[in-house]
Amino acid sequence: MSVVSLRRFAQNGIFSDSGFLSRVRDNIIANRDFLKRRFDNNATIDVKVLGWRYMFIIAMVVLLTMVVLDEPIGSYRADWPQPLKNLARAFTDIGKSGWILAPSGVFMLGCYCLDWGGLQSRTRLLFAKLMAVSSYIFLSVGISGLLASSLKYAIGRGRPFLYDRVGAFEFRPFSLDAAFASFPSGHSTTAGALFAGIAIFFPALRLPALILGVWLAFSRVIVGVHYPSDVIAGVALGAWYAYFQALVFARYGVIFTTDSQGWPIVRKDYYLFRPQREIG
């Protein structure tokens, strides 16, 4: 393709008023304006971060676990029963954030590329709600993961496989060495954010979500890459951020609102598929 052809394509295609990049730009602007209107319309909603008492309790639990359990677990790390190790290895990588961030991020980007004006109203509403859910998942898991990664390298705690050399309380802040990036656990942070989000979306699943989240977190202890205090801190960080992100969405009136006590709940009028009307 010649330079003239490329220039003509740029003028009449991808960069034109009806081109692909122009559509993406218009969708970004429309989304920004939509969020601004929602924020202004929900100005009377008083959103407060609750649960400071629970955060203090969790901090005390982390500290107590660090003092009481981390050294015994560090010395026991190679003695877990082999079937339990195999089971932990089979599930532990669910705590990787990539399999969550990739599809949710791709879906979000794909929505910005859509020609929303060409969609039927019901389809447009469905895609808008799916995009909101994808955004919540992406932000909850992604930002909590960034926080965990920043903290673990700033703190620089040695991992359990270094226990025989340095013990359970060797810290090398900002060493940028993965061997000294144990606290908090990134996999556990992902598990905490994911299953806290599930618990907020589906309150009936809170107990199963809690059990699965705790199991995935402690699988990191069994495979020998984290201490118990690392995974408790990670789960708490991920769950807290998922809760905080839900509050932010509630402030915009997207997906969530708050109950009488100020906790985030899914909006009653929020559904992905229109309920079938009863015939009779």
| Domain assignments of the chain as residue spans, ordered by start | 57-114+135-242
**Could you read off the pLDDT of 19-62 as tens digits, one per residue?**
778 888 888 888 888 888 888 877 666 677 777 788 889 999 99
Q: Does the pLDDT of residue 10 top 70, yes or no? A: no
For residue 81, give the 3-state DSSP assignment: coil
Q: What is the pLDDT of residue 104?
A: 93
Cis omega before residue 81 (within 30°)? Answer: no
Question: Which has more pLDDT, 255 or 260?
Answer: 255
Q: What is the pLDDT of residue 16?
A: 42
**Could you read off the pLDDT of 192-242 as tens digits, one per residue?**
999 999 999 888 888 998 898 889 889 999 999 999 999 999 999 999 999
- The pTM of this model reads 0.85
Percent of the chain surpassing pLDDT 70: 89
**Among 245, 276, 251, 262, which Cα is nearest to 133's?**
245
| Amino acid at site 120 | Q
Q: What is the pLDDT of residue 43?
A: 66
| Sign of the dihedral defined by the CA atoms of residues 175, 182, 95, 198, in that order | negative
